[in-house]
Structure 1
Amino acid sequence: MTRIQLNYLSIILSITYFGTRASAQVFEKTPVLHGDSVVFPITLINGYPFISGAVNGVSGKFMFDTGYRTSISLNDNLIDLPNKKTKSTGITGSGYDFKINTNDTVREIRFTNGVIYRNLENISSGNYDFLQNYITPDCLGYIGHDFFTGYLFKLDYIHRKVTFYKSSAERNQCKDFLKGEQVLAVINFENRKLPNHPMVRLSIDGINVLGAFDTGQNGLLQLDEPSGKILKGRGSVQSSGTDSVGDTLLTIKNVIIDGKYKFTLKGVELSSLKGTQVIRRELAITEPNLMNLGYRFLSQFKTVWDYANSKIYLLEY
């Protein structure tokens, strides 16, 4: 599996911070957020954010992946789930097929910030050995969009944390999640077929590109042939070498997001049109040019993702 393929692992088809010695806050049946605000420490592995925890006593890390729709899905290649039942087949954006299973009951999911879920019902799982093999061997599975339904979140790679804030009319007015922050830009986004994939209009040196936000990938660029020739000729898209598995890396200059904020990206992977077919089909993307905005972009800022109001805030570090 190449690094470009890893970018698409996240496209799967089918509170209060308590401190390092937290007292337990126990919830049952459904793994969703509770409380006004919740902080989870994150660990970065090759640009992918992970949240540490344990499932039925098995310790490891969940990938925090906005590209994954389900609340929580467990890696039954790592966790013994003897009563799992096959439900359907899933596919990653890179075309990797796997079985989706369902589990009537999961005894316990425990996080390091003191949040505990017990006797969970109807929890999905799959053989996510590709995450174990290519990212981290102790991958417990995914935490996805439905885990934080009704919340906005602030993602902070430098301080290694993600903070969830319960959405409300009062919060929309006071914007306490911006207290003490320097706002660089407020980006308006749209959703198409899936609510967990914010998409935004970009331009690269005047060439239109559709941007797709996703924490579960590094970042890549796919251009049609005419756009690629123009931008390479202008020097706005340049090869900057290859990574350890031989994929071409790019430096991309003169990028403007939502007509508001100009930036440069380095180390973005080059993708072909064929390599984006799954994501194009599942997200109803017809535009000829596509950029995935993952770690290479997100690590430059603190970002606030406000799904209820279709906005992403870029905050200065």
Structure 2
Amino acid sequence: MFLPTMLRAVAISAFLTALPVSAAETASPATTPLLADKANFTLPFYLFNGHILIDGAVNGRQGKLMFDTGTEFPFFLNNHYLPLAKDLKIGEGRAASGQKMVLYKQQSPIKTIDLAGQIQLNNLTAVLHTDWSFIEQAYTPFFLGSIGHGFNRQYLFVIDYEAQTIAFHAFNQSKTQPASVIDPARVAATLEFTPTGVDGKMPEVVLRIGNKTIKASFDTGNLGSLELTEAMKNELTAGGELILTPRTYTCGQREPHVSASLNGLNYGPQALQDARNLTFKIGKTNQLGLGYHFLKNYISVWDYQNSRLTLLRP
């Protein structure tokens, strides 16, 4: 069994380092920007164990796609459920939960990808796929794959966990249109982030906890995680900013682990919600991963064009 909190796509950089340049370029999400035929659209979603699942169809076969900002590719499809040709092997690696994954690409384009009946993308080339059967076992046997950064980065998008919607606003229109989604009276914090990871997929900011700092990255595929050095753990615990709690169950499974809560987070002068229900481990760095358990407290506006993440009060 695997932890739902560890449902990461793949460390794609591990594939690219072992490939010739031509294959690396084929696998790069930056080479195939995608735009829908609508400048503005909204996708409703389901929440399952804190992850975002969207109704969809690939070449007419219906199922669900996971919306994961931490996945590099526009679409990363499931060849265990979908009849996709393994014409070109791109590389091999492992998911963060340990499963071996092999990436393939078929020569013929994907005829259609439908998202929630709202938009349809046609004749998509260079779409990568792998065997996601281990996610089928935990989530749905009709798992189509994931929607990732290669698609999302073309839009300013707004995630509302309470309403369970993601509203997309394409950047290739008047700047006033995307900007109008932000009500200044509801802004809780405006985070100017550094794009990190493949193609800048992972927004990273430096947050303060009392008189200490920690790097935090945002990712809808990560429910919440915390890695601390032993020294930082001891300092934060002594100051009351860190609370560690042993737990027996995770997302309906018996999975003993230690859960962490961080109190008193700040971005400059802006106070943020406490980060709770974080999976915790001791490591060599101090790194905070903020996902569902943190983002659900806000309506979040993701703007990769201007490297800005705005948190709105619901």
Query: Shorter-chain TM-score: which interval?
Result: 0.7 to 0.9
Distance, in Å, in 2 between the alignment partners of 1:38 and 1:48 is 21
- The one-letter amino acid paired with 2:95 is T
Counterpart of 1:196 in structure 2 is: 201
Deviation at 1:30, TM superposition (A): 7.7
Query: Closer, same or farther in 2 for the Cα pair 1:246/1:165, shift >3 Å?
Result: same
Q: CA deviation at 1:202?
A: 1.3
Query: CA–CA distance in 1 between the matches of 2:213 and 2:7?
Result: 22
Question: Match for 2:35: what amino acid?
Answer: V
Counting only pairs closer than 5 Å after superposition, residues 220-231 of structure 1 correspond to structure 2 as 220-231=225-236
CA distance in 1, matches of 2:11, 2:303: 20
Assess, with a 3 A threshold, how the Cα gap between structure 1 residues 53 and 290 changes in structure 2: closer, same or farther.
same
2:34 and 2:154 in contact (8 A); partners too: no
Q: CA deviation at 1:96?
A: 3.9
Residues of 1 paired with 2:36 and 2:121: CA distance? 10
1:314 maps onto 2:311 in alignment? yes
* Residue 181 of structure 1, CA deviation: 6.3
Deviations 1:274-309 (A, max 9, x none): 8xxxxxxxxxxxxx2000011011111000011111
Q: Which runs of 5+ in 2 are unaligned?
A: 16-31
Query: Is residue 125 of structure 2 the alignment partner of residue 128 of structure 1?
Result: no
Q: Are the structure 2 counterparts of residues 249 and 9 from structure 1 closer, same or farther at C-alpha, using a change threshold of 3 Å?
A: farther
Deviations 1:73-96 (Å, cap 9, x if unpaired)?
Answer: 110011122454322124334554
1:248 offset after TM fit, Å? Answer: 1.3
Look up the match of 1:176: 180
Which aligned pairs between 1:1-317 and structure 2 lie closer than 5 A? Answer: 1-3=1-3, 6-9=6-9, 11-13=11-13, 14=15, 31-104=34-107, 105-167=109-171, 170-171=174-175, 175-179=179-183, 182-194=186-198, 195-242=200-247, 243-244=249-250, 245-273=255-283, 288-317=285-314
Whole-Å Cα distance in 1 between the matches of residues 62 and 181 of structure 2? 31
What residue identity is the alignment partner of 2:225? L
Contact 1:197–1:214 (Cα < 8 Å) also in 2? yes
SS of the residue aligned with 2:122?
strand
In the alignment, the residues of structure 1 paired with residue 44 and residue 308 of structure 2 have an alpha-carbon distance, to the nearest angstrom, of 23
Contact 1:33–1:147, Cα closer than 8 Å, also in 2: no
Identity among equivalent positions (%) equals 26
- TM normalised by structure 2 equals 0.83
Instruction: State whether residues 109 and 118 of structure 1, in contact with CA within 8 Å, keep that contact through their aligned partners in structure 2.
Output: yes
Identify if the C-alpha distance between structure 1 residues 191 and 118 changes in structure 2 by more than 3 Å, giving closer, same or farther: closer
The worse-fitting range, judged by mean Cα deviation, of 120-129 and 221-230 is 120-129
Q: Residue 302 of structure 1 contacts residue 314 of structure 1 at CA under 8 Å; is this kept in 2?
A: yes
Output the aligned Cα RMSD. Answer: 2.5
Amino acid in the other structure paired with 2:270: K
Q: Say whether the 8 Å CA contact 1:10–1:67 is kept in structure 2.
A: no
Aligned length: 290
Long gaps (5+) in structure 1: 15-28, 275-287
- C-alpha displacement of 1:230: 1.1
TM-score by structure 1 length?
0.83
Q: Secondary structure at the match of 1:69?
A: coil
Supply the AA of the counterpart residue of 2:288: M
Match of 2:29 in 1: none
